[in-house]
Amino acid sequence: MNSRTDQIEAGSGKHFAAYVSLPERPNGHAVVVLQEIFGVTPHIRGIADRFAEDGYLALAPDLFWRIEPGISLTHSKDDIGRAFDLMRQYDESQGVEDAASTIAHIRRLPEFGGKVAVAGMCLGGKLAYLAAARGVGAASVAYYGVGIENSLQEADGIRGPLMLNFGERDRYVPPAARAKIAVALEGKFQVESYTYESADHGFYTRGDPETIALARKRTNAFLNQALCACVAARPAP
């Protein structure tokens, strides 16, 4: 599997980096992989590689480029503190804009002509939800998105397919938050939600292999249906 770093245009002459994982057997589509609060770490690059193994062109943009470009933190006590400090400074709307800029970059690539989904973990999971609510990307997949329950006023904007994945033991997305999300999204267009028994926060990057395999299988089934040409857009209200 080959990889590279692309520079994404952000307007006003500014650019930010994105890790690119190239599929050996392309399926014609792409996924924008949105990071956790630790940056574009080896774990996040591994997620991009996983999507590439499944046939997707995968790009993981550096979402913290305005604050501390190129940062990649561990799960040490000090780094966790730094990660939460970065999160306090972060503007989620700019993150959605960066996802849109990354999609625009993908669509300009001469070898690409398919559809682009957005997938994210933790911080990126909430951004994937916001991308769905704001019409960014053809489909969205959120893994343990933290804070989605605080942005449910945007749920009426969802037009395309959205998949949510939660860990049963995730203290950052506790049962009360998951229940609130479920009520708000009930009956929404093509929203799928899964909760993984015994899974904790971060399970898709560093959890139990069997849980990862199940979430990966469900993700591929969801994206295969969501990105196929037969999926019709929801009519405007």
| Mean pLDDT score, 34-55 | 97
Query: Is residue 136 within 8 Å of 94, Cβ to Cβ?
Result: no
Weakest mean pLDDT among 23-32, 53-62, 78-87: 78-87
Give the CA distances from residue 125 to residues 111, 116, 229, in Å, rounded to whole numbers and listed in that order. 28, 16, 25
Q: What pLDDT digit, counting tens, does each position of 189-216 carry?
A: 789 999 999 999 999 999 999 999 999 9
Handedness of CA 19, 103, 228, 43 (dihedral sign): positive
Report the chain's terminal Cα–Cα distance, integer Å. Answer: 44
pLDDT at residue number 75: 87
pLDDT at residue number 230: 39
- Count of CB atoms within 10 A of residue 213's CB? 10
Class of domain 2-226: alpha beta
**Collapsed DSSP state (helix, strand, coil) of residue 178:** helix
Of all residues in the chain, the percent with pLDDT exceeding 90 is 85
**What is the set of active-site residues?**
170, 201
pLDDT at residue number 178: 97
Distance CA(130)–CA(133), nearest Å, equals: 5
- Global pTM reads 0.93
| Mean pLDDT score, 55-65 | 97
State which H helix or E strand residue 175 sits in: helix 175-185
Q: Work out the pLDDT band at 25, boundaries 50, 70, 90.
A: very high
Strands 30-34 and 14-22: unpaired
Strand partners, 78: none
Mean residue pLDDT across the chain: 93
pLDDT at residue number 130: 98
Q: Does residue 26 surpass a pLDDT of 80?
A: yes
Q: Work out the pLDDT band at 1, boundaries 50, 70, 90.
A: confident
pLDDT at residue number 138: 97
Distance CA(127)–CA(115), nearest Å, equals: 18
Query: Is residue 86 within 8 Å of 68, Cβ to Cβ?
Result: yes
pLDDT at residue number 190: 87
pLDDT at residue number 87: 87
Angle between helices 92-108 and 123-133 (to 10 degrees): 70
Q: What pLDDT digit, counting tens, does each position of 114-138 carry?
A: 999 999 999 999 999 999 999 999 9
- Count of CB atoms within 10 A of residue 147's CB? 18
pLDDT at residue number 232: 39
Backbone angles phi, psi at 166, to 5 degrees: -130, 155
Give the CA distances from residue 36 to residues 12, 152, 231, in Å, rounded to whole numbers and listed in that order. 27, 21, 29
- Count of CB atoms within 10 A of residue 151's CB? 16
Q: What pLDDT digit, counting tens, does each position of 157-178 carry?
A: 998 999 999 999 999 999 999 9
Q: What pLDDT digit, counting tens, does each position of 88-121 carry?
A: 999 999 999 999 999 999 999 988 999 999 999 9
